[in-house]
Amino acid sequence: MREPLRVGIAGLGTVGASVARLMARNADGLAMRAGRPMALTAVCARDRGRDRGVDLSRAAWHADPLALARDPNVDCVVELIGGEEGPARALVEAALGAGKHVVTANKALLARHGMALARLAEERGVALAFEASAAGGVPVVKALREALSGNRVARVSGILNGTCNYILTRMEAEGLSFAECLADAQRLGYAEADPTFDVEGFDTAHKLAILTSLAFGVALDPDAIYVEGISKITPLDLRMAAELGYRIKLLGVAERTPTGIEQRVHPTMVPRTSSLAQVMGVTNAVTIDADAVGELSLIGPGAGGDATASAVIADICDVAADVVRPTFGIPADRLAAPERAPMQRHEGGYYIRLSVFDRPGSAAGIATRMAQADISLESIIQHRARTADADPSGRSGAPVPVVLITYATTEAAIREALARIDADGHVAEPPQVIRIERE
C-alpha cells in the first residue's frame, strides 16, 4: 500500500474532535477505500488539555494555524476553525499557496472568498473540498457536482440550517420560547459560534450561495441573496400556520426565472401535508429539480459533530485517493457571471399578519389598498377578541391581529400595498410577512 496521506486538523471543536475520532475508529476501512492509509500528523487547537475521546499524542500540536499550514508533515489541511476572515482564511490561503490540499466545512469563507480560493487551488493543482459546508452530513455537494453532471438544474431548495429547523420544530410542538430552543441547539453543538448567523438566515444564505454555483455553473454571488431569518416568528404565527394548514420552515431557494437566478432565504409557509413539512428537528432537506432526473430529494442530519464529520471524512478520503476536481465543478474562470433576478419580481402567495386598530372602516381600508395593488385575497382571519377584552361596540380601536392570505402576486405589489396601509394609519406595528410555497 502507498505511503499515508498526512492530515492536519485545525480546530478541535465539536466537528474537529469527531473527525479525529472517526479517522481513528475507521482507519482500516478508510485505507481500503482510498487505497492508502491516512495519518493524523498535526492538530491546531487552543486547549491542549481537553479530553477529546481520541489519542492525539502522535500528532504535532501547533498553537498557530499558519504553522500547521507550513508543517512539512502535512499534505492535507482540514480547516474547522470557521469564520469568513481571520485565522481560517489565512490558513486556507497559506495551505493552498503551499500546494497542500484543503478540506473545509467553512461555508462563510467559501461564500465570501470561494472564487479566489478556487482559482488558487486550481492554479496549484490541489483539491479544495467542502462537502461538509452545506447541509452537514447530507452529501448534496457531491450530488450536484458529480452525480447530476448530466442535468440542467432548474431549482434547488430546502431546509439548510439545522438550528432554525430545530427551533421552529420545538416551538411549534412543545410551545417553548425561541430563547429556550436556541439555548438547547447551542448545547447540542448545532449552532454557529455566533448563533445570529443561524437565526438571521446568514448561514442558510452561505450554503445557498455554494449550492447555486454548483447547480447552475455560475460564480458565487452571496450579495444577490435576499435574506430574512426566523427571529421575528412568533407563537401566534405558528398557531395561525397550523390553523391554515401550513407549517413554517426557513427555506433557501435558488431558481432560474425569466429574469435571471432568484436566490432567497426566508421563513416560508409550506403545506402541512408536504414532504418539507415533515422534516423535523436538526434534519436538513434539499430538493433539486433537474431536467433528466426530475425531482430529487436528499434528507438527513444537517448539523452536529459526527454527521458533519462524516462529510469531512468523505472529502479526506477523496484527497487520499487523488481525486482533484475543479472546486465548483467547472474551472473557476469558466463559471458564468450570474444574472440576478430582483426580489421585487418574486411571485407567490403571502401570509400577512397585521396588528389592526379595531374600528369601523379598518378592514375595508385594508381590503381597498390590496385591491388597488391588484392583490386578490384568498382568506381574511380576525378572531373575536377574548370575552374579557371584547368591546361590544367594536369601536375601541384596540389593535387586534388580522391575517390575510393572498393568491399569487408579486413582492412589489405586497410592498406597495403595505406601505399604503401603514400610511393610512390602520396598523399599530410593522406587518409580519411570510411567503407561501404551495407545492
Binding region for ligand HSE (CB under 6 A):
136, 161-163, 190-192, 198, 203, 302-303
Give a three-class secondary structure readout of 350-413: EEEEEEEECCCCHHHHHHHHHHHCCCCEEEEECCCCCHHHCCCCCCCCCEEEEEEEECCEEHHH
Nearest to ligand HSE of 263, 362 (CB atom):
263
Question: 209 or 354, CB closer to ligand HSE?
Answer: 209
Question: Minimal distance in Å, beta carbon 193 to ligand HSE?
Answer: 9
C-alpha cell at 242: 397550523
Q: Which is nearer to ligand HSE, 43 or 185 (CB)?
A: 185
- Can you say whether the dihedral through the CA atoms of 243, 172, 134, 106 is positive or negative? positive
Q: Grid coordinates in use for 49?
A: 488539555
**Of 100, 107, 142, 207, which one is the catalytic site residue?**
207
Cα–Cα distance for residue pair 292/182, rounded to 1 Å: 40
Q: Which of 83, 117, 204, 211 is nearest to 155 (CA)?
A: 211
Instruction: Give the DSSP H or E segment for 24.
Output: helix 14-25
Residue type for position 294: G
Q: How far is the CB of 84 from ligand HSE (least distance, A)?
A: 14
Q: What phi-psi label fits residue 83: left (phi over 0), alpha (psi between -120 and 50 degrees) or beta?
A: left
- Of 284, 229, 226, 299, which is closest to residue 257 (Cα–Cα)? 226
In whole angstroms, the minimum distance from the beta carbon of 138 to ligand HSE comes to 10
| Minimal distance, residue 107 CB to ligand HSE, in Å | 6
CB 190, min distance to ligand HSE, A: 4
Q: Of 16 and 401, which CB lies nearer to ligand HSE in the complex structure?
A: 16
User: Rounded CA gap, 37 and 109, in Å?
Assistant: 29
CA dist 330 and 142 (Å) reads 13
Query: For residues 313 and 400, which CB has a smaller minimum distance to ligand HSE in the complex?
Result: 313
Rounded CA separation 199/191 (Å): 9
**Do strands 294-301 and 283-290 pair parallel, antiparallel, or not at all (unpaired)?**
antiparallel
Cβ proximity to ligand HSE: between 92 and 105 the closer is: 105
Question: Would you say 41 or 161 has its CB closer to ligand HSE?
Answer: 161
Position of minimal CB gap to ligand HSE = 163
Residue 13 C-beta: closest distance to ligand HSE, Å: 11
Rounded least distance, CB 12 to ligand HSE, Å: 17
Give the CB-side neighbour count of residue 360, counting CA atoms within 13 A.
Answer: 3
* Crossing angle for the helix pair 14-25 and 305-320, to the nearest 10 degrees: 60
- Minimal CA–CA distance to 283: which of 302, 268, 270? 302
Helices of type H across 71-137: 86-97, 107-124
Minimal distance in Å, beta carbon 110 to ligand HSE? 12
Q: Tell me whether residue 207 is one of the annotated catalytic residues.
A: yes
Shortest Cβ 142–ligand HSE spacing (Å): 16
- Which residues lie closer than 8 Å to 121 by C-beta, 6 or more apart? 96, 102, 127, 128, 327
The grid coordinates listed for 206 are 452561505
Q: Which is nearer to ligand HSE, 130 or 350 (CB)?
A: 130
Q: What is the DSSP letter of 333?
A: G
Q: What is the largest CA-CA distance in the chain?
A: 87
Nearer to ligand HSE, 165 or 287 (CB): 165
Residues annotated catalytic, as ranges: 207
